[in-house]
Amino acid sequence: MSMNPKLLTLNKKHFFALWLFLIIGIISFEEVLSQPIQNQPFDDRLGNDSTLFFKSSKMEARARFWVDSVMQGLSIEQRIAQLMMARTYSNRDDDFNNSIDQLITRFGIGGLCFFQGTAERQKELTKDWQDCSAVPLFIALDAENGPGMRLTGAFTYPDFMTMGALTNDSLIGVAGFRVGQMCTRLGVHINFSPVADVNNNPLNPVIHMRSFGEIPEKVAEKSTAFALGLQDAGVMATAKHFPGHGDTDSDSHFTIPVLNKSVQQLDSTELIPFRRLVQAGVGAVMVGHLTLPLLDTTRNLAATFSEPIVANLLQKNLGFGGLVITDGLDMKGATLNFGPGEPALRALMAGSDILLLPSDIPKAIETISKALTDSLISPELIDHHCRRVLMAKYLYIIESNKLIARYPDADAAGTAFDRALNRRILKESAILVTNRQDLLPLLRPDTIKMAVVSCGIEAINSFTDLMKAYAPVDVFTLPEKATAETLNLLAGQLSTYDLIVLQVATKMQGANKDYGVPQGTSALNEQLVTTGRRVIVALFGSPYGATRIAASELIAALIVSPDNSSTSQELVPQMIFGALPFKGILPVSLGSFKAAGSGITTVTVDRLQYVIPEELGMKPEILAGIDSIARQGIRAGAYPGCQIQFALDGKVFYRKAFGTPQYEVTTPVKITDVYDLASLTKIFATTLGVMKLTDQDEIDIHHKLSDYLPGLEHSNKAKIRIIDIMTHQAGLQPWIPFYRQTIAQPQQYYRDSLSITYSIKVADRLFLRLDYRDSIMNQIIQSPVNSDKSYKYSDLGFILLKEAVEKITDSSFDRWLDANFYAPLSLNTMGFKPWTKYPSGTIMPTEDDHEWRKQLVHGYVHDQAAAMMGGVSGHAGLFGNANDATIVMQMLLQKGSYGGQRFIKQTTIREFCKAPFADAGNHRGIGFDKPPLHPVKDGPVCGEASSKSFGHSGFTGTYVWADPGNMLVYTFLSNRVYPLAENKKLSQMNIRTRIHSVAYKAVRSAQKPNLTSYPRNVNPYVLLINNSKMGLLFNSWR
């Protein structure tokens, strides 16, 4: 890049003088500090030039010395150029970049405002352009809620309208601070933020979601919090668009909006946020291109060019002494009534310091220079504004060493902290507008037949996924352009449902397009509610969109999330089911239906929450180790696919699926797919059943099983206690291969079609004789019992326990469990015989059985004994997904309570989850596995698990574990027996326990982030006092 030799010489000269002064001029410097600061004489209109509040008089003296030295080296044209800030990009070609070079080296412009591009390229260009500038450039970014507003791949926090729904403004301050940090690491000194406009006009086409809302006091509080956050990070905040662009119905980018309000009217609404920001010490104010005929009668004169508005109202009336910045001078609102170069001159004459984005900078400099020649303005006016800009540069660039530091690595893409804070903001901004009969949260979703209608969006999305995580729901889609026939058909399909949730995902459009509410949504809602259907409307996007939904007064519950991201659509279902509370308030009114500030707060119930690891302070790079181990197992052929889920303190922080159902297919495993749980049946079915019956005094585990199961009293099992069966020390055989007795004579036992005699379906087109179930029971009863009562794992006792439960409850095992556990827990998939309930594509296959069933076992239980008993047994037969398994374990970890219901008494869980025979060397709990009593290699659980923990594993490659000592729940489901059950790689590679260890490492290294505060005044060069008295102020010159 070329350099102007004259500017370079001047630059070296005054910088050399500065450093010489600082190094060897100690005595004279002290003399300077001992003298009162003398103001330069200006004409009466200018008054004092640019005194700032510094932390010390020494700092102020250094600033004045630097400004004086720079001013001496600048010609009048270069002083004018210091007021100019050019539009630039980091995604343009060399020709464009060379044109910026020329503006810097030939004219000496004062700053650049970046727009499109990337963070890394912007940093590179900023460094290059700073290097070739004689005077440090002010770098600005119009990054209202984050750099991602302008830069590809960069981070943004939610719109200010979303933050306007918060009741906790400290979150806004922290967001402002983080945006400020992102800016500083990009080399940005000024952010044109916050938007201080009061959006009290629903028809506003340009401010809308960029505003904090329509309540002036709330806008003042929130915009001030954001501005102070920015400035505490060392970035100048800019309140915009003075005196208020919120009550307009046109866009100043294309025309000149008119605001017909008097000073008194402005004072009661639009000026409230600006006054608060001025009092708090905002560094800059941007003046908007809108006309106010009652303040300045000049026809079609935008506020930017109005001395009564800039000089009198802003600087004199409000007492603002900071930098005055124009809105973009290349906007139609600025150029409609002026020729080239004239907008910059008129803005300068009105009182602006920084002339932002003139469409022709050389022409603007020429026009202002001519005005000097023609005595329209004085050189003192130019000097005054130039000194103000330079003083600000000293404060934000020189004293803070930002130019020399060359900006550390950018975190513009967002850090773990940003992701956590972003979710916190979205959690607390969702608004429950109406809640008839306290419908929400849904406490007993199992009693409701529920449907979700995705309006204008694909049915599979984060909202429907989370709805299904909490309850069985059917999903329908309302096409974006639905016909009357489509609406009628859909309404008919929904007529059998008790509750219908309309998911309304808008496109963030204006009033002229119904705020993006999908066509047909209003008509469908009206048709449903007027025919007596209970409807919940969950609107994502502009709150004004709710005014476009007919019959809103009949809606059972109206939810508004001002943010329409997938994250918000994942969070709202958690509020519907009570895992999270509703906290937000309406930032704007919904016509006459609901006033701004309205919002219903709800209570929570003890259901799982779904979070990201960053919310818990976990390091994603540690958890990436889980991904690595899971994929390693797939590559090694330990299993074709798996589901893994972890929850800490009831918060699911890891929930992923890996691989495919079979090695030969490419369809990925989904987190909602169903696995054969194998021996997890022992705890999720039989043990739960025995615990429940213990609570009801229907069973005593210290009694003999024969007391509850007639037929055992005359056998060798007559004296076996239930507790001994459940701790595997009853002396029973591990298992009996019943199926092998039938292989030699298949025609005697099987048919390929259903009949009364052959009615036990063991696989596809394979039916076993009904009476063979009795044969199985007789073989178990007659099987030998070992006199050695030490621990020896056995299936047989749990098969018998299932029979006892059915005898006691006078109900089938599967239906009783569903009624008492699976349905009230709102489990989507847990149950027996999945082939009767779910599409085969959602069920993971197990063994390709060449020995007995002669087919791939798919949808039917893998365990042979359970299959021969009709798929329902006490030792195997249960199916489910990782989420359902986690819910059951979480219920046990919560001492028997879940979703506001009690399933098992605390005392019962405490008894069953301890090792009652540890003194005899048996580590097992009652039904549950436990950590070994002494450390062993390749044990059932990783070494980090506490002695209080409990769980179980399953033959098909499944595993669950809960740790009350760390409040951690772990679920691993796989079909490692595909295609051969002899595959032992899963256990040989210790996949499950290694993954468990990684999770413990992540938990123990976690540092939960503080999302509501940050270190105040971290910028050591700027005096920011967060009250209404003082702040970063420039003395007014009017």
> In this structure, what CATH number is given to the domain that contains residue 476?
3.40.50.1700
Kindly report, residue by residue over 130-140, the tens digit of the pLDDT.
999 999 999 99
pLDDT at 256 exceeding the cut of 80: yes
Q: Which pLDDT belongs to residue 383? A: 97
Here the tokens at position 915 are: 């090792």
Least confident of 470-484, 567-581, 876-890, 902-916: 470-484
Mean per-residue pLDDT for 815-840? 97
Largest CA distance in the chain: 121
Q: Distance between CA atoms of 97 and 893, rounded to whole angstroms?
A: 62
Residue 45: CB atoms within 10 A of its CB come to: 13
pLDDT at 334 exceeding the cut of 90: no
| Residues 388 and 438 occupy one common structural domain | no
| Residues 537 and 630 occupy one common structural domain | no
| Residues 790 and 920 occupy one common structural domain | yes
Q: Which pLDDT belongs to residue 1017? A: 56
Among candidate residues 270, 286, 285, 178, the one with its CA nearest the CA of residue 225:
178
Mean per-residue pLDDT for 839-860? 97
Q: Which pLDDT belongs to residue 57? A: 82
pLDDT at 110 exceeding the cut of 90: yes
| Residues 803 and 940 occupy one common structural domain | yes
Confidence of residue 390 (pLDDT cuts 50, 70, 90): very high
User: Which of the listed residues 371, 405, 439 is the one where a domain comes to its end?
Assistant: 405
Q: Which pLDDT belongs to residue 56? A: 75
Report the CATH number at residue 700. Answer: 3.40.710.10
Q: Distance between CA atoms of 186 and 127, rounded to whole angstroms?
A: 10
Here the tokens at position 545 are: 């969109």
Mean per-residue pLDDT for 391-400? 88
Q: Is 11 helix (H, G, I), strand (E, B) or coil?
A: helix
pLDDT at 330 exceeding the cut of 70: yes
Q: Which pLDDT belongs to residue 58? A: 85
Q: Which pLDDT belongs to residue 59? A: 81
Q: Domain span at residue 274?
A: 5-405
pLDDT at 697 exceeding the cut of 50: yes
Q: Is residue 1016 part of a domain?
A: no
Task: Give the rounded distance of the alpha carbon of 831 from its chain centre.
Answer: 32
| Residues 395 and 439 occupy one common structural domain | no
Mean per-residue pLDDT for 313-327? 96
Q: Which pLDDT belongs to residue 481? A: 85
Kindly report, residue by residue over 273-312, the tens digit of the pLDDT.
999 999 999 999 999 999 999 999 999 999 999 999 999 9
Q: Which pLDDT belongs to residue 1034? A: 30
Model pTM greater than 0.75?
yes
| Residues 706 and 662 occupy one common structural domain | yes
Kindly report, residue by residue over 643-662, the tens digit of the pLDDT.
999 999 999 999 999 999 99
Here the tokens at position 97 are: 């970049």
Among candidate residues 928, 826, 907, 448, the one with its CA nearest the CA of residue 608:
826
Mean per-residue pLDDT for 355-374? 97
Q: How far apart are the first and last CA of the chain?
A: 41
Q: Which pLDDT belongs to residue 55? A: 63
Kindly report, residue by residue over 578-609, the tens digit of the pLDDT.
999 999 999 999 999 999 999 999 999 999 99
Confidence of residue 401 (pLDDT cuts 50, 70, 90): low
Kindly report, residue by residue over 853-865, the tens digit of the pLDDT.
999 999 999 999 9
* Beta carbons of 326 and 342 less than 8 angstroms apart: no
Q: Which pLDDT belongs to residue 580? A: 98
Report the CATH number at residue 54. Answer: 3.20.20.300
Query: Torsions phi, psi of 323, nearest 5?
Result: -70, 135
Mean per-residue pLDDT for 151-166? 97
Q: Would the CA dihedral through 422, 425, 427, 429 be positive or negative? A: negative
Using CA atoms, how far residue 1007 sits from 509, 617, 645, 648, in Å, is: 40, 5, 21, 14
| Residues 640 and 743 occupy one common structural domain | yes
Q: Which pLDDT belongs to residue 409? A: 67
* Beta carbons of 572 and 533 less than 8 angstroms apart: no
User: How many structural domains is the chain composed of?
Assistant: 3
% helix, strand, coil for the chain, step of 5: 40, 15, 45
pLDDT at 89 exceeding the cut of 90: yes
Contacts of 23 (CB under 8 A, 6+ apart): none
Mean per-residue pLDDT for 3-14? 41
Length of the chain in residues, anyone?
A: 1038
| Residues 805 and 873 occupy one common structural domain | yes
Q: Is residue 589 part of a domain?
A: no
pLDDT at 34 exceeding the cut of 50: no
Mean per-residue pLDDT for 954-964? 98
- Please, what is the average pLDDT of the chain? 91
Using CA atoms, how far residue 372 sits from 260, 382, 823, in Å, is: 34, 9, 83
Q: Which pLDDT belongs to residue 273? A: 98
| Residues 530 and 646 occupy one common structural domain | no
Q: Which pLDDT belongs to residue 1029? A: 28
Portion of the chain with pLDDT greater than 70, in percent: 92
Query: Torsions phi, psi of 446, nearest 5?
Result: -70, -15
Q: Is residue 1033 part of a domain?
A: no
Q: Distance between CA atoms of 148 and 191, rounded to whole angstroms?
A: 13
Mean per-residue pLDDT for 945-973? 98
Q: Is 888 helix (H, G, I), strand (E, B) or coil?
A: helix
Query: Torsions phi, psi of 1021, nearest 5?
Result: -105, -10
Contacts of 826 (CB under 8 A, 6+ apart): 445, 446, 470, 471, 472, 899
pLDDT at 462 exceeding the cut of 90: yes
Q: Which pLDDT belongs to residue 336? A: 85
Q: Distance between CA atoms of 116 and 621, rounded to whole angstroms?
A: 30
For residue 1006, the one-letter residue type is: A
pLDDT at 724 exceeding the cut of 60: yes
| Residues 400 and 436 occupy one common structural domain | no
Among candidate residues 130, 107, 283, the one with its CA nearest the CA of residue 192:
283
* Beta carbons of 412 and 119 less than 8 angstroms apart: yes
CA torsion, ordered 149, 151, 152, 154, to nearest 10 deg: -80
pLDDT at 467 exceeding the cut of 80: yes
Q: Is residue 513 part of a domain?
A: yes
Confidence of residue 508 (pLDDT cuts 50, 70, 90): confident
Q: Is residue 1019 part of a domain?
A: no
Q: Distance between CA atoms of 486 and 496, rounded to whole angstroms?
A: 17
| Residues 400 and 440 occupy one common structural domain | no
Q: Which pLDDT belongs to residue 43? A: 35
* Beta carbons of 959 and 683 less than 8 angstroms apart: no
| Residues 848 and 806 occupy one common structural domain | yes
- The DSSP call for residue 554 is G
Query: Where does residue 656 rank: exposed (0-12), middle (13-18), buried (19+ CB within 10 A)?
Result: middle
pLDDT at 335 exceeding the cut of 50: yes
Q: Is residue 619 part of a domain?
A: no
Q: Is residue 598 part of a domain?
A: no
Query: Any idea which residue has 């946020």 for tokens?
Result: 273
Q: Which pLDDT belongs to residue 29? A: 31
Here the tokens at position 64 are: 């004045």
Q: Distance between CA atoms of 141 and 190, rounded to whole angstroms?
A: 7
Using CA atoms, how far residue 98 sits from 131, 842, 975, in Å, is: 14, 59, 61
Q: Is residue 620 part of a domain?
A: no
Among candidate residues 146, 164, 259, the one with its CA nearest the CA of residue 204:
259
